[in-house]
Structure 1
Amino acid sequence: MPVQAAEMVIINARLPLTDGGGLFKLTIRDGKWRAVEPQAGPIGSEEHQPIAALGAGGLNAAGRIDLQGRVLLPGFVDVHMHLDKAYSLSRVRNRSGTLLEAIENYRSVIGEFSKETIRDRIVKAALRAASFGSAALRSHLDVPVHLGRGIAMRTIEAALEAKEKVSGVVDIQFFPMYYYDPGAERELTEFAFETLRMGVDGVGGAPHLTLDPAGGIDWAFRMATAFGRPIDLHIDESDDPNVKTIDVYCDYVIRNGYAGKATAGHLCSLSAMEHGEAERLMAKMAAAGVAAVTLPAVNLYLQGRGDRGNVRRGVTRVRELAAAGVPVAAASDNIQDPFHPFGRGDMVQIGLMTAYAAHLAREEDIAAVLRMLTHIPAEIAGLADYGISPGNPARFVVLDALSAEELFQELPATRWVYNKSRWTFASELSMRCTDPATARLAALS
Structure 2
Amino acid sequence: MLKQQLKLINANLPLLDKEKLCTLTIENGLWTSITKQKGYVKEGQANDLENMDEATVLNLEGKILLPGLVDAHMHLDKAFSLQKVGNSSGTLEEAVENYSYAVKDFSKQEIKSRIIRAALMAVSFGTTAIRTHLDFHIRWGKEVAFRTIEAAIEAKNELKTIVDIQLFPLTPFFHFTEEEINILEEAMQMGLTGFGGAPHLSQTPEKDIDIIFRLAEKYDCPIDFHTDESDDPNVRTVNHIAKRTIDYGMKGRVTVDHLCSLAAMSIEDAEKMINKMIEAGLKAVTLPGANLYLQGRHDSFPVRRGVTRVKELLSKGVPIATASDNIHDPFHPFGRGDLLQIGLITAYATHMGSPTDIRTILKMITEIPANILGLNGYGISVGNKANFVIFDAITPEELFTLLPERRWIYRNGGWLIVPGKQKSWNNPKIERLWSHSKSYMTLTL
TM-score when normalising by structure 1: 0.93
Structure 2 counterparts to residues 2-401 of structure 1, below 5 A:
2=1, 4-54=2-52, 58=53, 61-182=54-175, 184-401=176-393
Q: What's the CA shift for 1:367?
A: 0.8
Q: Output one character per residue of 1:122-142: Cα deviation in whole Å (capped at 9) or x when no partner.
A: 000000000100010000000
Deviations 1:29-60 (A, max 9, x none): 00000001111111111211001334xxx2xx
Q: Which letter maps to 1:303?
A: Q
Query: Any stretches of 5+ residues in structure 1 without a counterpart?
Result: 430-445
The CA distance in 2 between the partners of 1:375 and 1:22, in whole Å, is 20
Paired residues of 2:295 and 2:305 also in contact (CA < 8 A): yes
Is 2:404 the partner of 1:412?
yes
What's the CA shift for 1:425?
A: 1.0
Query: What is the CA deviation profile of residues 169-210 of structure 1, one whole-angstrom value per residue up to 9, with x for unaligned ones?
Result: 11100000011444x421221111111111100000000001
C-alpha separation between the residues in 2 aligned to 1:414 and 1:351? 17
Distance 1:135 1:379 in 2: 14
Q: Which moved more, 1:173-182 or 1:361-370?
A: 173-182
Q: Is the 8 A contact 1:93 1:105 kept in 2?
A: yes
Q: Tell whether the 8 Å contact from 2:14 to 2:396 is kept in structure 1 after alignment.
A: yes
Alpha-carbon separation, structure 1, partners of 2:29 and 2:109: 33
Per-residue displacement from partner, 1:107-154 (whole Å, max 9, x unpaired)?
Answer: 111000000000010000000000100010000000101100011000
Distance apart, 1:21 and its partner CA = 4.7
1:20 alignment partner, SS class: coil
Distance 2:227 2:191 in 1: 24
Unpaired stretches in structure 2, ≥5 consecutive residues? 422-445
Q: In structure 2, what residue type is equivalent to 1:110?
A: V
Q: Secondary structure at the match of 1:53?
A: coil
Contact 1:180–1:219 (CA under 8 A) maintained in structure 2: no
In 2, the alpha carbon distance for the partners of 1:46 and 1:187 equals 68
Deviation at 1:165, TM superposition (A): 1.2
Residue 339 of structure 1 aligns with an amino acid whose one-letter code is F
| Alpha-carbon separation, structure 2, partners of 1:204 and 1:95 | 28
Give, in angstroms, the shift of residue 225 of structure 1: 0.8
Two-structure CA RMSD over aligned residues (Å): 1.0
Q: Letter of the 1:154 partner, please give it.
A: R
Whether the 8 Å CA contact 2:173–2:201 is kept in 1: the answer is no
Aligned-residue offset at 1:421: 1.5
Task: Flag as ranges the 4+ runs of structure 1 deviating above 4 A.
Answer: none
Q: Is the 2:3–2:413 contact (alpha carbons within 8 Å) kept by the matching residues of 1?
A: no
Post-superposition CA distance 1:56-85 (Å, at most 9, x none): xx2xx4211110000000000000000000
2-structure distance, mates of 1:382, 1:140: 16
**Aligned counterparts of 2:19 and 2:27: Cα–Cα separation in 1:** 23
Of all paired residues, the percent bearing the same amino acid is 50
